[in-house]
Amino acid sequence: MLLRNIIQRSLTKVRVNVQLQLERRNATVASPVTLDENVVRPEAKELSKSDQKFNSLQQRFVYPEFLPNPTLEWRNPIREKLERIDMMRRRSQVDLPEFYVGSILAVTSSTQHAVSKQTRFLGICIKREGCGLRASFVLRNVIDHIGIEIRYFLYDPKILKLDVIKLEKRLDDELYYLRDALPEYSTFPEDMEPEILPDGMPIPINTTKVVMKPRPWYARWERTHFQGINRELMMTHVSEKMKMQIPLHEKPWEKYDLMKQYRSTIPEEEQKDIFAEVDSELHKLELLRKKQKRKRAFVKPLKSS
Amino acid sequence: MAGICNRLLGLNSFKGLKVFESTVLQHGCDCFAVTQFSGQVRHKGPPKPKLRFPLWYLQKTRVNYPEKITPENREFIKEVGYEKFGPPAVISGISTFQTNSPLKDQPLQKGVWTPKSRRCGLITRKIGLYPMWSKSGEPVWTTLLQVVDNHVVKYIPPEEYDPARKSVVYRKNHSLGVLLVGAESCDPQKFTREYCGLFAPAGLPPKRVLGRFFVSPDAALQPGTPLGAMHFRPGDVVDVVGKTKDRGFQGVMKRWGFKGMPGSHGVTKTHRRGGNIGGGGEKGRVWPGTKMPGHMGNRTRYLRGLKIWRINTKYNVLYVQGLGVPGGTNSIVYIHDTCLPLRKIKDESKAPPFPTYDPSVDDDLPDDLYDPEIHPLDSPSISFEEAKK
Amino acid sequence: MDLLRLGVRKFHSTPSCNHIIKMSRLRVVDNSAIGKEAMAEGRPPKVIHVYTKTGVGTIGDKVLMAIKGEKKKGILVGVKKHQPANIPKFDTNNVVLIDDSGTPLGTRIHAPVPHLLRTILKERTIAKKCDYSKLIAIAPRFV
């Protein structure tokens, strides 16, 4: 009897999660039209009550590192709480704005190898990973025709400033395929002008499809389903034998594996509790950031002669 | 009903064992398991039992048969428990009872710390790992150990302590007493009355976990004394003991890190096997201690010389150096002052809180205490300046 | 396209793992005559010895290379290998040719160099024996 209850409960949770995941997929992958409906940025308008509810669910995309690792045997509520407290402490010292895989960032940091100097690295974010204080991201840029990648811990106290140069999303959750794409897709000038997204605008999705270099590659990209790769052109570099192997490595059943999705996500109720704990402070920081942004966006009017 | 009340109050529950309480004998080795020992009996008189369990080695859990109790009586039992142990409360993140004044007798006289003193340890739960950063900008990976509702249950002075199996250490140093420490208060109804009776003299609710620590007599503590994370200070060096993760029956490659054999080039059926296990001729046998497949993990393991980088006083959490503390997340870890001779405290001016931290000394403790080398995350970002000449 | 590929050999002498070990091919990033020629010919230098205890080279390690039929020493100034946080990982294994005293053969480096190299080479500089300060001085930019 009890067992049945438990199973029923877990299945309802699964359903919620699948819904969330589908929503998320819409938000990240689907065309911009559906995005307009789904992603409304928090500062969009005066929030009504239903919007606020919606908003707390949106936070998981803006601050994904606040959600703990869903692996059950690694979880502990007190450790997670302590970790969140530490994260908020760091956030009170440095502005860590919202960004996504595909956004262009510039990190100003200090290093013990160059005393009394600051280093700045600008590049496209190709990966975001880790939960809590160990959250990290990888930036990639091509400087002097040589591709360079640097991984940063988001909460590293050596980071002095994190600027979002261009806030946008790509079609995929990780962009490691840029390593094997033509260099022009990961080349960004160091002195790129920051583009400030107006308040209330949905985050644009960059739908560029990159052209791959001939093999050898870092991974078997022809076996993956990344949306951001120009598949037709990529297949010209792939031999007939490799093409024949593609269907052998497909796992079409995985999208129906409810338990896998359940195990890899935090239930919605827990997400709400977590964000309820840090929401007020995050909101304060967001207001502060908005104020500074307005200052930056202000351009001195030209004298009309 | 009477049985339940007895369990709650721990009344007369100890009779059977009290017979040889005065001659209670424990094993002297450092591990927590009980070992069998059968020696030749040379003395006259009634022979001592060959196998003697430690005092606290009692039947812990009971058969959970349905007790037909009315809801009113159930409430009453709860009330009796709360009267005895205090109302239920969440103290520093752990659900326990708000014990009013556990100390029944006068506290023992405080000793003075000397380099030879040996203090009590703590029972902690490993709650996870996360990085901190040092002031030189390097990541410091730490293990978080939460001190879970620790109380002293019993003190056995060295004169009364007589273990069944006398180890070399015991024979050399006969001057150590034993402190029994319990962690995580529980509902008494879960346990047998013998087990509950172990805690009755100290006025404590039964604890889920027990640990034993050898202490010098000057570091003895009154039963019922609560122990917290402030027993240590940031910068102290500790040893930890825990049970490693159980990995089951494993082959030599995983268990001992053997290289295995090639995947091809004519190799058949021996890709992950150990190969030869001994020579022939005069030594034609398998030597003891040969590395072979077998059960891996679930062993008590020590990790010594770990520095405490930070202490959270609100949740009683110790941030200990490194990622190698044995056991998985949420497993029990015992922690005590280090016994490494070069890392022990020898200077009397750096004496630790003795015999334990006295909470009445300072009321306003900050939530977090850091080692001076650690960069607190609420201080400004690190920037490197040239050293002044 | 397929016709073109027929002429290309399908295997690479550089192992797929990104370790710099013996027989790895490197990319010369200075303007020394021999290095420039070797890269232009499409015959990049091959490592014939790594001066470390493990035999695997990383940033700042000295290697011995076979380049255009000669033996030359070089310093690794950027590697493909997975790196810890805040240290750049390059798409190619970059090397700067040096002579026995640590002076670079070229006069310019045309690739960014990790900050870490500064500390490592400072430690490895031995007075009047090998001096890497020249190499650091000609590095155009640090990342």
Asked if the bond preceding B355 is cis, omega within 30° of 0, the reply is yes
C103 CA to chain A: closest CA distance, Å? 21
Alpha-carbon gap, residue C57 to C49, rounded angstroms: 10
Q: Is A23 exposed, middle or buried (0-12, 13-18, 19+ CB in 10 A)?
A: middle
Alpha-carbon gap, residue B226 to B215, rounded angstroms: 16
Residue B26: half-sphere exposure toward Cβ, Cα within 13 Å? 28
Q: Is A57 exposed, middle or buried (0-12, 13-18, 19+ CB in 10 A)?
A: middle
Least trusted range by pLDDT, from A9-18, A112-121, B107-116, C114-123: A9-18
- The pLDDT mean for chain B works out to 85
Which chain A residue lies closest to C121 (C-alpha atoms)?
Answer: A113
A186-231 pLDDT tens trace: 999 999 999 988 878 899 999 999 999 998 888 889 999 999 999 9
Which residues of B fall below an 8 Å CB-CB distance to A? 93, 127-128, 130-133, 136-137, 139, 144, 146, 312, 315, 317, 328-330, 375-386
| In a domain? residue B17 | yes
Q: Where are the alpha helices (DSSP H) in C10-80?
A: 33-41
**Contact criterion met (CB below 8 Å) for B382 and B251:** no
Alpha-carbon gap, residue A171 to C13, rounded angstroms: 35
Between B83 and B304, the more confident residue is B304
- Residue B41's pLDDT band (boundaries 50, 70, 90)? low
Alpha-carbon gap, residue C24 to B218, rounded angstroms: 65
Look-up of token digits 């994260």: A87
Alpha-carbon gap, residue B374 to B139, rounded angstroms: 10
B245-299 pLDDT tens trace: 999 999 999 999 999 999 889 999 999 999 999 888 888 899 999 999 999 999 9
Structural domain of residue B173, as residue ranges? 2-30+51-99+114-246+297-375
pLDDT, residue A108, reads: 96
Alpha-carbon gap, residue C60 to C64, rounded angstroms: 13
- Residue A300's pLDDT band (boundaries 50, 70, 90)? low
A115 CA to chain C: closest CA distance, Å? 10
CB contact under 8 A, C118 and A114: yes
| In a domain? residue B45 | no
Residue C115 has pLDDT above 50, yes or no: yes
Q: Is A167 exposed, middle or buried (0-12, 13-18, 19+ CB in 10 A)?
A: buried
A76-103 pLDDT tens trace: 999 999 999 999 999 999 999 999 999 9
pLDDT, residue A55, reads: 66
Count how many domains chain B has: 1
**Contact criterion met (CB below 8 Å) for A110 and A165:** no
Which of left, alpha, beta for B330 (phi over 0: left; psi -120 to 50: alpha)?
A: left
Q: Chain B interface, mutation test: which of A65, A82, A155, A277, most B Cβ atoms within 10 Å? A: A82
| In a domain? residue B339 | yes
Q: Which of B301, B297, B306 lies closest to B143 in space, CA to CA?
A: B306
Least trusted range by pLDDT, from A280-284, B34-38, B331-335: B34-38
B167-200 pLDDT tens trace: 776 777 778 899 999 999 998 888 999 999 999 9
Q: Per residue, what are the HEC states of A173-201?
A: CCCHHHHHECHHHHCCCCCCCCCCCCCCC
CB contact under 8 A, A74 and B146: no
Q: Which amino acid is at A218?
A: Y
**pTM of this prediction?**
0.83
Residue A130 has pLDDT above 70, yes or no: yes
Pick A113's closest partner by Cβ from C78, C94, C115: C115
Rg (CA), chain A: 21
Residue A172, SS3 per DSSP: coil
C50-107 pLDDT tens trace: 999 999 999 999 999 999 999 999 999 999 998 999 999 999 999 999 999 999 999 9
Residue A91: half-sphere exposure toward Cβ, Cα within 13 Å? 24
Going A206 to A207 to A208 to A213, the CA torsion angle's sign is: positive
| In a domain? residue B354 | yes
Beta carbons within 10 angstroms of residue A94's beta carbon: 17
Which chain A residue lies closest to B311 (C-alpha atoms)?
Answer: A82
End-to-end CA distance of chain C: 38
- Residue C13's pLDDT band (boundaries 50, 70, 90)? very low
Contacts of B139 in chain A (CB under 8 A): 153, 156
Q: Which amino acid is at B106?
A: Q
Q: Across the A/C interface, how many CB contacts are shorter than 8 Å?
A: 66
C8 CA to chain A: closest CA distance, Å? 11
Q: Which amino acid is at A17?
A: N
Q: Which of A175, A130, A172 lies closest to A153 in space, CA to CA?
A: A130
Domains of chain C and CATH, by start = 10-138 (2.40.150.20)
Residue B65: half-sphere exposure toward Cβ, Cα within 13 Å? 6
Q: What distance separates the 2 farthest-apart alpha carbons in chain C?
A: 57
Contacts of B137 in chain A (CB under 8 A): 110-112, 156-158
The helices-and-strands tally (H runs, E runs) of chain B is 6, 16
Q: Which of C113, C68, C50, C109 lies closest to C87 in space, CA to CA?
A: C113
> In chain B, which ranges are E strands?
88-91, 94-97, 122-134, 139-147, 150-156, 177-185, 207-215, 226-227, 237-243, 248-250, 294-296, 300-312, 317-321, 332-337, 368-370, 374-375
Contacts of C89 in chain A (CB under 8 A): 148-151
CB contact under 8 A, B382 and A157: yes
Chains within contact range of chain A (3+ C-beta pairs < 8 Å): B, C
CB contact under 8 A, B383 and A156: no
Residue B117: half-sphere exposure toward Cβ, Cα within 13 Å? 21
Which chain A residue lies closest to C118 (C-alpha atoms)?
Answer: A113
Phi, psi of C109 (to 5 degrees): -115, 130
Contacts of A83 in chain B (CB under 8 A): 128, 130
Q: Chain A interface, mutation test: which of B384, B385, B386, B388, most A Cβ atoms within 10 Å? A: B384
pLDDT, residue A305, reads: 53
Which residues of A fall below an 8 Å CB-CB distance to B? 73-83, 86, 89-90, 92-94, 110-112, 114-116, 118, 132-134, 153, 155-160
Residue B27 has pLDDT above 50, yes or no: no
Contacts of A110 in chain C (CB under 8 A): none
CB contact under 8 A, B127 and A76: yes
Residue B368, SS3 per DSSP: strand
Q: Which of A103, A294, A98, A61 lies closest to A199 in space, CA to CA?
A: A294
Going A26 to A31 to A32 to A34, the CA torsion angle's sign is: negative
pLDDT, residue B51, reads: 73
| In a domain? residue B310 | yes
- The pLDDT mean for chain A works out to 83
CA angle A41, A43, A46 (to 5 degrees): 115
Chains within contact range of chain B (3+ C-beta pairs < 8 Å): A
Interface check for A250 against chain C (CB to CB < 8 A): the answer is no
Beta bridge partners of B125: B146, B332
Alpha-carbon gap, residue B234 to B311, rounded angstroms: 6
Least trusted range by pLDDT, from A152-166, B55-69, B243-257, B326-340: B55-69
Contacts of B330 in chain A (CB under 8 A): 73, 76
Q: What is the per-residue burial (b if ≥16 Cβ within 10 Å, else e) of B126-153?
A: bbbbbbbbeeebebbebbbbbbbbbbbb
Q: What percent of chain A has pLDDT over 90?
A: 64
Q: Per residue, what are the HEC states of C100-119?
A: CCCCECCCCECCCECCHHHH
CB contact under 8 A, A113 and C88: no
Alpha-carbon gap, residue A193 to B303, rounded angstroms: 53
Alpha-carbon gap, residue B307 to B270, rounded angstroms: 44
CB contact under 8 A, C112 and A148: yes
Beta carbons within 10 angstroms of residue A275's beta carbon: 21
The CA–CA distances, whole Å, from B19 to A280, B22, B23, B32 equal 62, 8, 9, 23
pLDDT, residue A218, reads: 86
Which of left, alpha, beta for A268 (phi over 0: left; psi -120 to 50: alpha)?
A: alpha
Q: What percent of chain B has pLDDT over 70?
A: 85
Edge-to-edge strands, sheet with B150-156: B207-215, B177-185, B150-156, B226-227
Which chain C residue lies closest to A143 (C-alpha atoms)?
Answer: C112
Beta carbons within 10 angstroms of residue A260's beta carbon: 13
pLDDT, residue A25, reads: 41
B87 CA to chain A: closest CA distance, Å? 22
Look-up of token digits 């160990």: A134
CB contact under 8 A, C115 and A114: yes
**Contact criterion met (CB below 8 Å) for B131 and B139:** yes
For range B319-333, the mean pLDDT = 96
Alpha-carbon gap, residue B108 to B116, rounded angstroms: 19
CATH no. for residue B346? 2.40.30.10
pLDDT, residue A299, reads: 60
ipTM of the complex: 0.86
Between C5 and B24, the more confident residue is C5
Contacts of A134 in chain C (CB under 8 A): none
Pick A153's closest partner by Cβ from C85, C94, C111: C85
- Residue B39's pLDDT band (boundaries 50, 70, 90)? low
**Contact criterion met (CB below 8 Å) for C53 and C73:** no
Pick A111's closest partner by Cβ from C12, C89, C115: C115
Q: Is A293 exposed, middle or buried (0-12, 13-18, 19+ CB in 10 A)?
A: middle
Q: Which residues are CB-neighbours of B325 under 8 A, at least 6 positions away?
A: B126, B143, B145, B240, B242, B303, B306, B333
CB contact under 8 A, B381 and A158: yes
B186 CA to chain A: closest CA distance, Å? 19
| In a domain? residue B381 | no
B197-240 pLDDT tens trace: 999 988 899 999 999 999 999 999 999 999 999 999 999 999 99
Tokens of C77: 């100034």
Between A142 and A40, the more confident residue is A142
Q: Which residues are CB-neighbours of A146 under 8 A, at least 6 positions away?
A: C29, C78, C90, C91, C92, C94, C111, C112
Q: Is C1 exposed, middle or buried (0-12, 13-18, 19+ CB in 10 A)?
A: exposed
| In a domain? residue B253 | no
Beta carbons within 10 angstroms of residue A160's beta carbon: 18
